[in-house]
Amino acid sequence: MKKLIELIKEQFEDESIEITKDSIVSNLNGFDSLTAFSIIDSVEESNGFQLDENDLNLTVEQIYNKINE
Amino acid sequence: MKKFRLSPITKEDIEFIYFLRSISKDNVLKKSNRIENSKFLNQIMSQGNCGYFKYECDTEIVGYYRFYSVNGNMEIGSWITNPSSSPTEKILFDLEFKKQVFNLTGQEYIYFDVRKHNFSVWKHHERFGAEFIKEDVLNRYYKLNKEIYNHKYHEKIDRINKRTV
């Protein structure tokens, strides 16, 4: 989970952005379509798991569970 | 399977370009009014091979992009996308457009600048091999090498294409 949060955090400009397991990724401040792509691409690069764009409307915990199902 | 198409703009695109600019959050793209926009695009199109392209996914326009020569250097800019297109479609547009510019111009480098506050945009370009040159108060300046770009393109394109099916 910590690794996933760090990976998501890296895609945002604000280094102090607070991301928890309950954060909905698409609601995070600074989120846009390019951030969405970066997150999807980074997850696929590091986990080999292909997230759907709609998955970014889930919480970090839900995304984590999906990746590790 | 979705069909993508990159083609030069026509007069029919003028209004939609204006519309996308007018709803853009980016003030840089917003500044032109309808008449200025039309005059500018008509002028570009009258020059023959205008370098202004649109990208379509099936029947929907994903966005517009332009390349032009400045002091012998090939620059790209005016990238604007349709808010209803998916993130992956927008990225594919950027990737295919840059590939097209390298192919059409034979240049080794493409140059561009990005507003400093557009973090996600310049981070995206860096992700695909853009090399940071310098910055000033407003912008970050980049160059993109053809060989580095082609490597990144081939490394990622199949994977990205799979997401659009």
| B49 contacts chain A (CB < 8 A) | no
In the block, which residue shows the tokens 């294409």? B161
Task: Tell whether the model's pLDDT for residue B29 goes beyond 70.
Answer: no
Residues B142, B104: Cα–Cα separation, whole Å? 20
The whole-number pLDDT of residue B165 equals 60
Distance of CA B161 to the CA centre of its chain: 18
- Total residues belonging to chain B: 165
Q: What is the reported pTM?
A: 0.88
pLDDT score of B20 more than 70? yes
| B30 has a pLDDT exceeding 70 | no
Q: How far apart are CA A21 and CA B159, in angstroms?
A: 28
Give the separation between CA B73 and CA A36, rounded to whole angstroms.
32
Residue B46: pLDDT band (50, 70, 90) is confident
Domains recognised in chain B with CATH numbers:
4-162 (3.40.630.30)
Tell whether the model's pLDDT for residue A69 goes beyond 90: no
**Which chain B residue is nearest to residue A48, measuring alpha carbons?**
B159
- Cα separation, B112 vs B132, whole angstroms: 10
- Beta carbons of B56 and B96 less than 8 angstroms apart: no
Q: Give chain A's domains with CATH numbers.
A: 2-67 (1.10.1200.10)
CB–CB contact A11 B120 (8 Å): yes
pLDDT tens digits, A1-53: 999 999 999 999 988 899 999 999 999 999 999 999 999 999 998 988 999 98
- Nearest by CB to B163, which of A11, A13, A50? A50
Query: In this structure, are strands B131-135 and B109-115 parallel, antiparallel, or unpaired?
Result: unpaired
